[in-house]
Amino acid sequence: MKLIVKVFPEITIKSRPVRKHFIRQLGKNIRTVLRDLDPELRVDGVWDNLEVETKVSEPKALQEMIERLSCTPGIAHFLEINEYPLGDFDDILEKCKQHYADQLPGKIFSVRCKRAGKHAFSSMDVERYVGSQLRQQCGAAGIALKNPDVEVRIEIRDQRLFVIHHQHNAIGGYPLGSLEQTLVLMSGGFDSTVAAYQMMRRGLLTHFCFFNLGGRAHELGVMEVAHYLWQKYGSSHRVLFISVPFEEVVGEILGKVDNSQMGVVLKRMMLRAATRIAEELNIDALVTGEAISQVSSQTLPNLSVIDSATDMLVLRPLVASHKQDIIDTANEIGTAEFAKHMPEYCGVISVNPTTKAKKQRIEHEETRFDMAILERALERATRMTVDRVIDELDQDLQIEEVREALPGQIVIDIRHPDASEDEPLELAGIEVQALPFYAINSRFKELDANRQYLLYCDKGVMSRLHAHHLLSEGHANVRVYRPA
């Protein structure tokens, strides 16, 4: 299969050296993202389009390649093509007939030709000749340039002919790694996950920082969604997942800070901690999912006071976004289900939070705060590459595994709905229920406590993590199903 990758239009208006840098980075990213599917993948081109060629023919692997390219920042769209040496007009006609003859009988169609290089003919000459002959020879109902039933698409590049038979849209943006690094403050909800995606799509290498306010389930949930975002949109680069234990910080705020000022003080403590981490890692900016006046701490006066806690640039890609638009984007990128089922955590909740914080008042409240607690939180912070998050958590889990399900037991398929639909788990005489991993923690309590449940996933890692969490929550009727 051969693909022609069309880069994000903004890249094409850059200066020559910047454009070449972006396209070289995109080529490198494509090789990295697809390397496990085809170690011999060829990616060529440094200026205009990129040509991707693979010898892989297995349909499932090809579909996976298409899915990954569709989610690779920097690609506007890509075309599945057949390549031929350029011949005369009759030869071009024959190649078009090979691919389109079956689609044209009784249909209104058009011919679209793009051309690059020096030729004795124009693109319009090709379109007129091929269009008229296809109409006569293939039983088409007619030709229309607007809203045709079928588009016959070809490209001529120097002495090569490309016949296009599929176009796949992608997410656009700049190639990941072509710009600077950022540290996104992740809660795992709608806002922070969409903000992280926006940064990744803009080509910024995005690391994840989670402030744990006291919930192991919440930490696990954020790890899962961070891993999902990285795997789907950013796997061309390794980035960090950093977890900062903030329970003591919350306790200090609850005990020392005036109720109305708590939310602003907490955000300032997070920015201070994130700034220290970013400076140690040579990261250029912080990212949050805040939007103007979505909650009380996000009014303009409050955001101004919050930002004054750091000299580092704070980016807010969603600052003027409406909540429903954010939710719609989360649905599009696949993080909405995570956000909907993100475990609750105990945070700082003000009864009457201020919406017009004063810097002097906040600084006065912070004089009561023992900054040694913030230092301890930073010392206890954990760092790991996001691709190792799941494996690292799995190392110390002692969970009973079952090789064969018995009658009366229920196997719960916790894979993503797409995976469970594509390859359903079917076991003779055994009840199988689908309950995605992002919903298992919140919905397990609804199940019959008198039944025994076996959690299943492809690799056994996610099922072990969730079994561990459920057991720690007091559910003794959980095991892991790992068929031999």
What is the sign, positive or negative, of the torsion defined by CA atoms of 363, 367, 368, 371?
positive
Give the active site residue among 96, 138, 209, 457: 457
Helices 16-34 and 59-70, interaxial angle, to 10°?
Answer: 140
What's 260's DSSP letter? G
C-alpha to C-alpha distance for 350 and 353, rounded to whole angstroms: 5
Strand partners, 153: 112, 164
What is the end-to-end Cα distance of the chain in Å, rounded? 35
CA distances from residue 194 to 100, 226, 227, 240, 457 in whole angstroms, order as listed: 41, 11, 14, 18, 26
CA distances from residue 365 to 247, 346, 361 in whole angstroms, order as listed: 19, 21, 6
Half-sphere exposure of 404 (CA within 13 A, CB side): 4
Q: In the structure encoding, which two tokens stand for residue 287, read together?
A: 């990212």
C-alpha to C-alpha distance for 52 and 62, rounded to whole angstroms: 12
What's 71's DSSP letter? T
Q: Are 187 and 289 in contact (CB under 8 A)?
A: yes
CA distances from residue 46 to 24, 25, 69, 235, 337 in whole angstroms, order as listed: 6, 9, 18, 22, 39
Active site residue 457: yes
- Nearest CA to 200 out of 29, 2, 425, 431 is that of 29
Any residues with CB less than 8 A from the CB of 396 and at least 6 apart, and which? none
Q: In the structure encoding, which two tokens stand for residue 378, read together?
A: 């930073």
Q: Residue with structure tokens 């007619």?
A: 142
Q: Residue with structure tokens 């930002």?
A: 307
Amino acid at 242: I
What is the sign, positive or negative, of the torsion defined by CA atoms of 111, 114, 118, 122?
positive
Task: Give the helix ranges, DSSP H, for 139-215.
Answer: 190-201
- Nearest CA to 109 out of 142, 65, 138, 73 is that of 142
Strand partners, 254: none
Exposed (0-12), middle (13-18) or buried (19+): which is 204, by Cβ within 10 Å?
Answer: buried
Q: Are 472 and 429 in contact (CB under 8 A)?
A: no
SS3 120: coil
C-alpha to C-alpha distance for 152 and 138, rounded to whole angstroms: 13
- Active site residue ranges: 457
